[in-house]
Amino acid sequence: NAGVTQTPKFRILKIGQSMTLQCAQDMNHNYMYWYRQDPGMGLKLIYYSVGAGITDKGEVPNGYNVSRSTTEDFPLRLELAAPSQTSVYFCATHKEQASYEQYFGPGTRLTVT
């Protein structure tokens, strides 16, 4: 099992460009999350999903969109990239009854210049 995979690993965007960060899990979990982690800061929840077709905003959703058409995939879309979106993005999931043990993907390092 691959667990949680994320692509790309690194990306540099110009201001105003758009991109989609991919996240996939092969654990058949319903819950999935997107976080961002700025240097020296804790993880901030961007969006989360409790199952296919259901998504909701987290703490810092502005500038992002998500979709969840399948259990496996939870892509994060950045429209009109801004320097403030320079960060490391982590996707995570967990078992139904064990929300405290979140399994994270390896992250995507994004720089917007």
Partner 1 sequence: RKEVEQDPGPFNVPEGATVAFNCTYSNSASQSFFWYRQDCRKEPKLLMSVYSSGNEDGRFTAQLNRASQYISLLIRDSKLSDSATYLCVVNANPFSSYKLIFGSGTRLLVRP
Among 50, 54, 80, 82, binds partner 1 (CB under 8 A): 50
Residue type, 25: Q
Kindly tell me which residue out of 25, 71, 85, 102 binds partner 1, with binding defined by CB under 8 A.
Answer: 102
Q: Closer CB to partner 1, residue 35 or residue 64? A: 35
Degrees (nearest 5) of the Cα angle 52, 107, 72?
A: 20
Write out the binding residues for partner 1, residues 2-31 only, by CB under 8 A.
Answer: 31
Among 1, 2, 14, 40, binds partner 1 (CB under 8 A): 40
Determine contact, residues 52/69, Cβ cutoff 8 Å: yes
End-to-end CA distance of the chain: 36
Q: Which stretch binds partner 1 (CB under 8 A): 13-21, 44-52, 67-75, 76-84?
A: 44-52
Based on the shown chain and the rule CB under 8 A, indicate whether residue 42 belongs to the binding site for partner 1: yes
Cα–Cα nearest to 47, from 8, 19, 10, 21: 21
Rounded CA separation 108/8 (Å): 6
Residues of the shown chain interacting with partner 1 in the complex, contacts defined by CB under 8 A: 31, 35, 40-43, 45, 48, 50, 58, 90, 94, 99-102, 104-107
